[in-house]
Amino acid sequence: MNSRDRGDQFEQKIAKLLNMKQTANSGAMFDDADLRPKNGKRVIAEAKVKNTQGTVQAHVYTEIEKLSKQADKIGTDWFYVIHDRSGRELVICELNFFAEATEGYFSE
């Protein structure tokens, strides 16, 4: 399986898990990231598979900055999901978005 196929498969996994839909051409068509929620919530997401440590360190910050600018441009929140070379799947987002998205989980 090539890297594009692994990336598409990871996007599909995240889309199914979070009830999201993949965007046209992984967001390149409308400058809106890889994924959007099916329920219309105002958030965009990128999902990336990174197979080398150097790639993770060198590119993730740049990709997060790009995603943040896209979100600002369309007035929405964002989160970034990564599958790293050790197989971990991690989410990066701003603290305020995390607090809002998990409010029900942490409430008494």
Contacts (Cβ under 8 Å, ≥6 apart) of 53: 85
- Using CA atoms of 60, 96, 89, 104 in order, give the dihedral in degrees to the nearest 10: -170
Segment 43-68 mean pLDDT: 82
Q: What is the mean pLDDT of the chain?
A: 86
> What pLDDT, on the 0 to 100 scale, is given for residue 28?
47
> What pLDDT, on the 0 to 100 scale, is given for residue 27?
45
pTM of the model: 0.82
The residue length of the chain stands at: 108
Element (H, E) at 27: none
Domains identified in the chain and CATH numbers:
3-106 (3.40.1350)
**Alpha-carbon distances, residue 35 vs 12, 21, 24, 54 (angstroms):** 9, 6, 9, 25
Segment 84-102 mean pLDDT: 92
